[in-house]
Amino acid sequence: MTELSGTGLHPARTKNLLRLRTADPLWLVVLAITLSLATFDMPQIVTSLVFMARSIGWVIPFFALSIGIAAYAKASGADHLIALVFAGNPVRMVIVAALFGALSPFCSCGVIPIIAGLLGAGVPLAPVMAFWLSSPLMDPEMFIISSAGLGLTFTLAKTVFAVLTGVFGGLATLLMVRVGKFGTPLRQVRSGSGCSSTRQRAIKTDWAFWRTRDRRKIFWASLRENGFFLGKWLTFAFFIESLMVAYVPASFVSGWLGQDSWWTVPSAALAGIPAYLNGFAAVPLMAELIRMGMMPGAAMSFMIAGGITSVPAAIAVYALVRRPVFI
C-alpha cells in the first residue's frame, strides 16, 4: 500500500489518527489514567472497578428514577406544565422549591437529570437552584434514619439548614439573574449526545403518552440521551473518586476534622465538597466522629457540603451547564 500523498503517512495510520482526533476526550483521559495505573499500580485497576460498580449500584435506582421522570415529562408534555408551576413571584417560587427539594428523595447525582429537564423546559434558574441545593440534603426517609443515629435535635437543625441553604442559593441566583448574569444556563450540546439534545416537543399534554407513536419516540430518545450523557460522566467521576479514596488516607481526613479549633467548621465544608457523601452513609460516619470528639458544628458543615455536591456530581454538572452556573 502506498502512503498518502503529501503526508508521508500510511492510510491505516492516518485513519487511526483521525479516529483519535474525533474521539471523546473523556475516554482518552480514562485511557491515559488506566495506562498509568497499569504501569505503576496494577491492583488499583481492579479496586477502582469494584468501587465504581458499588457506587453505580447504589446510585442507579435514583438515577433511573430521575431520568425516567425527565423523559416522561418531555414525552407527555408535562415539562411545560412544570414551567408554569414555577412561574409567578420569583421569591415565593424559590421558597416553595427549597421546601419541595427537602422532601424529594434525590442525591446530588440523581437530581441532575431532573435539573436538566427543568432548565430545558424553561423553568427560571433561581427556583431550580433552590431545589438543586436542598434536594440532596434531606428527605423523609433520611430524616428518620438521621434521628435514630444523630438525635432529633441535630436532624431538625439539618432540615432547617437544608431549606435555608436552598433559599439562600435561590435568592442569590435570582439577584445574579437580575443584574444580567446566567442568561443561558445550559450548554449547547450536540444533537444526540446530551441532556438538551431532544428537540422534538409534545405540544399538548397527554399523560398516557405511550398510546402515541411520536411521543414514545420522544420518551425513548430522551431516556437514551440523558442516560448515556450523564451516565458516562458519572461513571468517570466514580472512577476519579476511587483514586481519591485510594490515595488520600481516611485517617488524615478524620484527624483533620476531629480537632476542636475555630477553623474546623470551614475546613469540614471544604473537605465535604469533593467527597461523595451519601446522606444515609453519612449518618454512622458522623455519629462515630462526634463520639470521638468532633464538633457537632463541623459535622453539620461536613454533611451539608458533602450532601450538596461531590466530585461525581460536579463533573456531571460541568458537562451540563455553562461555567458561571457551575461556579
Mean pLDDT (10-residue bins), the chain, 327 residues: 48 52 68 87 89 81 76 76 71 90 73 78 86 84 77 90 93 91 72 41 70 87 80 75 72 61 80 68 68 78 82 79 86
Nine-digit cell string for 257: 476534622
Q: What integer pLDDT is reported at residue 313 of this predicted model? A: 76
> Measured between alpha carbons, how far is 111 from 113 in angstroms, rounded to an integer?
6
What DSSP character marks residue 24?
A: -
pLDDT of residue 168: 95
Residue 103: its pLDDT value, please?
A: 80
Position 15 scores a pLDDT of: 55
Query: Does residue 294 sit within a domain?
Result: no
Quote the DSSP letter at residue 3: P
Does 220 reside within a domain?
yes
Residue 25 lies in a domain: no
Domain total in the chain: 1
Rounded to two decimals, the pTM is 0.61
Per the domain annotation, does 126 fall within a domain?
A: yes
Q: Are the CB atoms for 277 and 303 separated by under 8 Å? A: yes
Q: What is the pLDDT of residue 81?
A: 65
Q: Is residue 254 part of a domain?
A: no
- pLDDT recorded at residue 224: 85
| Residue numbers of the domain that contains 233 | 42-248+313-326
How far is Cα 327 from Cα 318, in angstroms, rounded to an integer? Answer: 9
Q: Any residues with CB less than 8 A from the CB of 137 and at least 6 apart, and which? A: 101, 102, 158, 161, 162, 165, 279, 303, 304, 307, 308
Residue 249 neighbours by CB distance under 10 Å = 10
Residue 24 lies in a domain: no
154 near 97, Cβ under 8 Å? no
* Domain presence at residue 12: no
Q: Please state the φ and ψ torsions of residue 26, each to the nearest 5 degrees.
A: -60, -45
Provide the Cα torsion 216, 322, 302, 158; round to 10°. Answer: -60
Supply the pLDDT for residue 288: 65
